[in-house]
Chains A and B, each alone.
Chain A
Amino acid sequence: GAVVSQHPSWVICKSGTSVKIECRSLDFQATTMFWYRQFPKQSLMLMATSNEGSKATYEQGVEKDKFLINHASLTLSTLTVTSAHPEDSSFYICSARRGTGSRQPQHFGDGTRLSIL
């Protein structure tokens, strides 16, 4: 069964709305979670690394004030797309890594399809 839950799976909202996406590790503690974005028919691009109890690390070109990441507990990271616009429409997918060892694999959520009208 799934070990990472992502919610919601699908969102349609008006331009200017802020949207929050949750990523939960179901049966393990995840000190590190990752957020990716995938535009239609394109690859997944790493947006940011979310570390429990500290600020997220954003990849070059990703606006941290636009994409707010909060990793307040060992099982939950949230991505908030603030004042979303049509160009933010995309497939957002998170992953969580068990423990802190580099040998640990990442488990992916099922993704969130965000459509901004």
Chain B
Amino acid sequence: AQKVTQAQTEISVVEKEDVTLDCVYETRDTTYYLFWYKQPPSGELVFLIRRNSFDEQNEISGRYSWNFQKSTSSFNFTITASQVVDSAVYFCALSGGGGADGLTFGKGTHLIIQP
């Protein structure tokens, strides 16, 4: 069975601070994909990143960066110089079956950026 754990239910920081959202996963698949999605109050899911299990390179996209470590089964997400518009619920998700299966989501982290 697959499992995604986001231990941080809610994080509140002041604007311009850096913040890291943790994600730990469990799977028996050797090939899998990891995702991060942003869900603003309006409800739609905004895709942020997809990473396959064979690519452990860290990735940076503007103020966003991701740290994938297979040794600790973690796929953490860092926002640098946070902004109020970053406030949302962030979900980490896992797709097994080589990526062909539906996604298993974590419980989400509610990020609040205070001005």
Contacts and interface: CB of A to CB of B under 8 A. Distances in A.
B54 to A, nearest CB: 12
A107 B37 CA distance: 11
Contact of A93 (B31, B45, B100, B106): B45
Interface stretch (B17-25, B65-73, B75-83, B91-99): B91-99
For the residues of B in contact with A, the DSSP-based class is: mixed
Given A34-B103, A46-B104, A108 B43 contact: no
Interface stretch (A19-27, A71-79, A80-88, A98-106): A98-106
Contact of A106 (B43, B44, B103): B103
Nearest to A111: B43
A43 interface: yes
Nearest to B52: A103
Interface residues of A, number: 24
- Top-5 shortest CB links A-B: A102-B98, A46-B102, A102-B99, A102-B100, A110-B44
Interface of A: 32, 34, 36, 42-46, 49, 59, 91, 93, 95, 97, 102-108, 110-111, 113
Interface of B: 31, 37, 43-45, 47, 50, 52, 91, 95, 97-108
22 contacts: A34-B103, A36-B102, A36-B103, A42-B108, A43-B105, A43-B108, A44-B91, A44-B105, A46-B104, A49-B101, A91-B43, A93-B45, A102-B99, A104-B99, A105-B50, A106-B95, A108-B37, A108-B45, A110-B43, A110-B44, A111-B44, A111-B45
